[in-house]
Structure 1
């Protein structure tokens, strides 16, 4: 399968199944478009007619171009057949029972009252609670016991607001560090926080123990304070921004992400990206809100068109700042054209419910944080392990080939079938397809590939 598109001055051709990306001129772009549907002479004749007014496009050159494309096809870099489908289930089966990451919900409570919060202001549609040290310790033991021969393990301290249970976070990290050598493991910890409780102690601890810190900021003050308010209705922007700046400076501008959400209120999210840059932040992420249709925060069809344009403008801004020596990272545009995820990850998906699970303050296991609180998705608990094998099997089968809608999508080996939670909330099935999310993802990937191509061309 071939996917072709133009962005700015670039003509990009993606060979989906080999992952090869080609930056070509307009003539080669047109020839690739007709390569499999027209005979050689017919195609050359048609292009000779189309470009008859261009002296630099001659018939011998068109024939040479055709031969070069044929050589690329023979080399497996164009028009490559999909041979991955039979591998999808097999690869997942090889890692069955091996868990590599946990999302520890150390706090089912929050000091902010964000109306768009998928977690119902941190309560996950249940009772407010804090995870005890004993539950957290058992969760870490559960992870080590079920990680097989894996050496590197990942744990994200999540909420609600995890800093509302900071003492337990510190004790759990200390426990993990005390046993990882004898267990032959190494923990990589991350922390996701709204920033309200950040102080010098948090900063010192995060810099020492957290491989990454995710900081919630929606960009412009008026945008951020529209939703991210405390229980008195006061915005949090003024309170958290100086704390974020201090933390990021202490981390020397590395190993963090400013994570924002754009909604119906700010589909022009590039202005929020610019605000983050102006504040000195360069590791950025802006995610589309996931909301029920009719929710005031939900993106509309008109918003989607704006967002698509914003992604293109963002790509141009990144390349412009590259030239100015002021580069920045946008999480969704991080792509490695020469390597990237292995084929296992590309066809098997995120691993929710199999390699990755969320743990509630009471020790219950769920496929991921977005399913917490929905009892039908409860997998088991950290003492007895996974007991709901039917649900786990459903998630194990959530690979890119399990969805008919994905089979003809050029982006399938980049999204790996998409987010099961988004699919479920949009369609009622974890094997469904969140169509609006797919549209945005495909646009992001086009822009990400174009940025990577432009950067590669700029180094030659």
Structure 2
């Protein structure tokens, strides 16, 4: 399976199963489009009708056939049998999302967690529950040495003392169990201060900072509980935090909605504030919401992703570049094929823990009792649910079969599929369309970067 597209002056051909990416001239692009369903001599005839020299046509055909021989073009699918085998694999838990605070000091209108309450009671995780969650992970981690803990909410800084004690407890267990904990923290920044900054920079492998972009865009939906905008309060805190963080990992993560389909202006605004590791996600919400994104927005969303790719190319050349999460493609040393088939591991390798110790497949399922999988004392009490998630992959959905991007998205987010279709095995077409466009743009940017590096090396 291949995918061909033209963007920013490049003719790009992607081979799905080998992962090969080719930048070709116009003649090769046309011939590749014909190759699978047209005889060699018919291709020669058709190209000669376009006044192309026969010698050039046959040379191009030979080059294409050489790529096929070397398994870099029109490769067959070698992974379908592996996908079947992975359904019965033994999995161990290697990551937990600790919802330490089912409460928040903001009242973001689009919050999937119902302003931090997850459609339930407000609560703060106790130290005892947090420590038991660490024990649960150690007991169920099997051969995994690196274990991940995401501190999440609501706003986890509202459980600040608990977070510190959980981290200390986990660190005290590392040598005994020969494990290494990596912590991630997501915050809206309202409670950031020097003490918090010092601790996060010392202990957190990654920190995610929530900012939607321009002041008017951010303040429209990300307000305090009294209805005031939060932009002016958090931006100086984020700038100071990142300055002190040095070269450690962080992301400024935003959400774009129907209010700002021109979201690249928000990305560039954030970059111009001094942040160089960015992410901007499309809102997932009830399509009846006034800020919802719909299919009519897709042409402009596509256009915006192209603007983003071109601007990133320009800024990289100027030495003022930034990282965009969804444009990070490692073509030579990316995720293993098992991960590319099965995805994030929600419900199997990754679980969310509520303040009461209840287990869910991930943070986006919290509050939906149909997806309560057990608790940190008894473990998984719904193995049938875990089996459903284990079997979920880019090969378990008929709609994914002919999709060239399936080994980049792994079949999509189960939570988004559930909210859009009522089933974790469903397909959220809007999200698929957006994802494919992001892959095309990120691949084009990677092509431009590679060509620039090659030209620089030749000079």
State the TM-score bracket (shorter-chain normalisation): over 0.9
Report the equivalent of 1:83. Answer: 78
Report the equivalent of 1:245. Answer: 239
- What does the per-residue CA deviation read over 1:205-241, in whole Å, with 9 as the maximum and x for residues that have no partner? 0110001000000000000000000111000000000
Secondary structure of the residue aligned to 2:253 is strand
Q: TM-score, normalised to structure 1's length?
A: 0.97
CA distance in structure 2 between the partners assigned to 1:117 and 1:66 by the alignment: 54
Report the equivalent of 2:120. Answer: 126
Report the equivalent of 1:429. Answer: 423
Report the equivalent of 2:32. Answer: 32
- The correspondence of residues 54-73 of structure 1 with structure 2, limited to 5 A, is 57-73=52-68
- What does the per-residue CA deviation read over 1:27-53, in whole Å, with 9 as the maximum and x for residues that have no partner? 111111011111111102212222x2x
Structure 1 residue 426: Cα displacement: 0.4
- Asked if the contact 1:92/1:348 (under 8 Å) is kept, the reply is no
Report the equivalent of 2:176. Answer: 182
CA distance in structure 2 between the partners assigned to 1:153 and 1:252 by the alignment: 24
1:212 to 203, 206, 210: 206
CA distance in structure 2 between the partners assigned to 1:428 and 1:92 by the alignment: 22
- What does the per-residue CA deviation read over 1:317-374, in whole Å, with 9 as the maximum and x for residues that have no partner? 0000011011100000000112211100111121100000000000000000000000
- The correspondence of residues 288-327 of structure 1 with structure 2, limited to 5 A, is 288-327=282-321
- The correspondence of residues 125-274 of structure 1 with structure 2, limited to 5 A, is 125-252=119-246, 254-274=248-268
Within the alignment, does 1:47 sit opposite 2:42 as a pair? no
CA distance in structure 1 between the partners assigned to 2:90 and 2:411 by the alignment: 18
1:349 to 326, 343, 347: 343
CA distance in structure 2 between the partners assigned to 1:48 and 1:162 by the alignment: 66
- Asked if the contact 2:96/2:150 (under 8 Å) is kept, the reply is yes
- The correspondence of residues 390-405 of structure 1 with structure 2, limited to 5 A, is 390-405=384-399
Q: Please, which runs of 5 or more residues in structure 1 have no aligned partner?
A: none
- Asked if the contact 1:337/1:452 (under 8 Å) is kept, the reply is no
- Asked if the contact 2:205/2:248 (under 8 Å) is kept, the reply is no
CA distance in structure 2 between the partners assigned to 1:241 and 1:329 by the alignment: 19
Secondary structure of the residue aligned to 2:160 is helix
- What does the per-residue CA deviation read over 1:185-209, in whole Å, with 9 as the maximum and x for residues that have no partner? 0000000000000000111001100
2:355 to 361, 372, 375: 361
CA distance in structure 2 between the partners assigned to 1:348 and 1:301 by the alignment: 27
CA distance in structure 2 between the partners assigned to 1:330 and 1:22 by the alignment: 23
CA distance in structure 1 between the partners assigned to 2:161 and 2:248 by the alignment: 25
CA distance in structure 2 between the partners assigned to 1:254 and 1:320 by the alignment: 25
RMSD: 0.9
Secondary structure of the residue aligned to 1:76 is coil
Structure 1 residue 93: Cα displacement: 3.2
CA distance in structure 1 between the partners assigned to 2:282 and 2:70 by the alignment: 39
CA distance in structure 1 between the partners assigned to 2:225 and 2:375 by the alignment: 32
Structure 1 residue 92: Cα displacement: 4.7
Secondary structure of the residue aligned to 2:80 is coil
CA distance in structure 1 between the partners assigned to 2:53 and 2:95 by the alignment: 58
Structure 1 residue 390: Cα displacement: 1.3
- What does the per-residue CA deviation read over 1:4-44, in whole Å, with 9 as the maximum and x for residues that have no partner? 00111111000001111101111111111011111111102
Report the equivalent of 2:108. Answer: 114
- The correspondence of residues 421-460 of structure 1 with structure 2, limited to 5 A, is 421-460=415-454
Secondary structure of the residue aligned to 2:38 is coil
- Asked if the contact 2:187/2:210 (under 8 Å) is kept, the reply is yes
Structure 1 residue 253: Cα displacement: 5.3
Structure 1 residue 301: Cα displacement: 2.4
CA distance in structure 1 between the partners assigned to 2:336 and 2:387 by the alignment: 23
Q: TM-score, normalised to structure 2's length?
A: 0.98
Change (3 A) 1:162 1:155: same
CA distance in structure 1 between the partners assigned to 2:332 and 2:166 by the alignment: 38
Change (3 A) 1:92 1:202: farther
1:336 to 330, 338, 343: 330
Which shifted more, 157-166 or 394-403? 394-403
Report the equivalent of 2:16. Answer: 16
Q: How many residues align?
A: 454
Secondary structure of the residue aligned to 2:88 is helix
Which shifted more, 40-49 or 395-404? 40-49
- Asked if the contact 2:101/2:355 (under 8 Å) is kept, the reply is yes
- Asked if the contact 1:196/1:240 (under 8 Å) is kept, the reply is yes
- Asked if the contact 1:107/1:131 (under 8 Å) is kept, the reply is yes
CA distance in structure 2 between the partners assigned to 1:346 and 1:418 by the alignment: 11
- What does the per-residue CA deviation read over 1:413-445, in whole Å, with 9 as the maximum and x for residues that have no partner? 000000000000000000000000000000000
CA distance in structure 2 between the partners assigned to 1:229 and 1:253 by the alignment: 30
CA distance in structure 2 between the partners assigned to 1:3 and 1:216 by the alignment: 35
